[in-house]
Amino acid sequence: MKSNYGFSRRGPDRVAEELVSVLSKKASYEFKALFLIVHANLRSQNANNGGEEMLRLRAYEKLQNLVRAGFVKKTGKEYTGVASALARFVAAAAEMNAKVVSRTASRPSAAAGKVSASEVTT
């Protein structure tokens, strides 16, 4: 099982995090109902870039990856979160988000490396 599912150097994966937050509840969802909840939550956060159809494709792909990794259980057409696995996912997500934030905070600003014209001519 992958321990660092869904993370890259680009930053937090909002779609996967939202899927996990919805599936952390004890309910089972079909994909359509799950997507409607995730889409509404991402719209309220203004984080639904790419349009609804692209978001639907990304959410389905992320959901299937969560199923393969063992974070979500699929029974027929219903998806249910596995509580212990989702807790590990949330902990890993928080750790990776903290690393991304610390990396961006430790980078020197672009203006710090620039030399003004008056410094070059003197």
- Tens-place pLDDT, residues 15-62: 888 999 999 988 999 999 999 999 998 888 887 677 889 999 999 999
The pLDDT of residue 7 is 47
Question: Where exactly are the structural domains of the chain?
Answer: 14-104
pTM: 0.71
Please state, in angstroms and rounded to a whole number, the distance separating the CA atoms of residues 25 and 38: 13
CATH architecture label of 14-104: Orthogonal Bundle (1.10)
Provide φ and ψ at 30, rounded to 5°.
Answer: -80, 160
Is the pLDDT higher at 48 or at 65? 65
Q: Exposed, middle or buried by CB within 10 Å (0-12, 13-18, 19+), for 9?
A: exposed
Please state, in angstroms and rounded to a whole number, the distance separating the CA atoms of residues 114 and 112: 6
Spatial CA neighbour of 16 closest among 59, 79, 71: 59
Structure tokens at 1: 């099982």
The pLDDT of residue 89 is 87
